[in-house]
Amino acid sequence: MARRRGWRRRIVLLLVLAMVGGAVYTAVAFLQRSETLVTEGCKVPGADEDLATDQAGYAALISAVAVRRGLPARAASIALATSLQESKLRNIGHGDEAGPDSRGLFQQRPSQGWGTEAEVMDPYHATNAFYDALVKIPGYESLPITAAAQEVQRSAYPGAYAQHEPTARAFASALTGQSPQSLDCTLRAPDAAGDPAAVQQRLTSAFGALDAGTEGRTLTVQARDTRAWAVAQWAVTNAKSLSITAVAVDGQTWTRSDHKGWQPGDAPAGQVSITVAAEPAK
């Protein structure tokens, strides 16, 4: 009898352990799939830091304006290093002790002729104003990034821009299309439906007129080479705000849900396909 009780205890213990183990495995699997554990952000190889999604969106805008104006990627690198130092790539509505009236992505001062307060708070105006000043500097393309930035900004801390050079160069290279399939954003699932027309409107504001058309939830943009990759990686950085779920270009596809970055696909050369989310299930 004692021997039978011992075996029964062992069997019960094994069953309990199996149940606990199964519960732990289920809990771990659930947590691994849970959207709450996804840390959102964007990264590029060679950058010293990742960018939050709002920062990456502004980085994409600054780089797109450089592409629209026909400026080299170096110009975007200078602009990004400047904005990283001045505002942490955010459109902030306040200044500091050195410039109490400074505003926007580049902390431009209305009192120094950068525009009205409303204008310097407009990212498009602020970015174009920065480039207007930059292109007036003879040989800015060959200057060190921090030196070119200082020529525009006239900062009290002229060497401060240098610390942002690796991140600025890496993101500028990706977002101007010079470094294909290099930018990746890790995002949670969309919480709202996307609108291809809204994507096209934002793209046009950034890059200018584009040959594009919509079919269902997909916007297709006709573009080649570096322009195609500039548009594609712009779309990835704006995927959160525009509920974009997939981007396909030149034999590569970025899919929001798989968190694997760019993967081989069947996208033809000469066009960028941007797909937005359907209405989320209730």
Give pLDDT tens digits for 171-211. Answer: 999 999 999 999 999 999 999 999 999 999 999 999 999 99
Residue with tokens 């001062």, as numbered in its chain: 109
Instruction: Report pTM.
Output: 0.85
The most distant pair of C-alpha atoms in the chain lies apart, rounded to whole Å, by: 98
Please state which of the ranges 38-42, 63-67, 72-76, 152-156 shows the lowest mean pLDDT.
152-156
- One DSSP character per residue, the chain reads -HHHHHHHHHHHHHHHHHHHHHHHHHHHHHHHH-GGG---EEE-TT-SS-B-HHHHHHHHHHHHHHHHTT--HHHHHHHHHHHHHHHSSS-BS---SS-TT-BBTTTB-GGGTS--HHHHTSHHHHHHHHHHHHTTSTTGGGS-HHHHHHHHH--S-TTGGGGGHHHHHHHHHHHTTSSTT--EEE-PPPSS---HHHHHHHHHHHH----EEEETTEEEEE--HHHHHHHHHHHHHTHHHHTEEEEEETTEEEETTT---EEE--PPTTEEEEEE--PPP-
Q: Is residue 130 a contact partner of residue 106, using CB atoms and an 8 Å limit? A: yes
Give pLDDT tens digits for 102-138. Answer: 889 999 989 888 989 999 999 999 999 999 999 999 9
Nearest Cα neighbor of 76 from 163, 212, 169, 157 is 169
Q: How far apart are CA 149 and CA 138, in angstroms?
A: 13
pLDDT at 12 over 50: no
Question: Is the torsion defined by CA of 117, 122, 123, 124 positive or negative?
Answer: negative
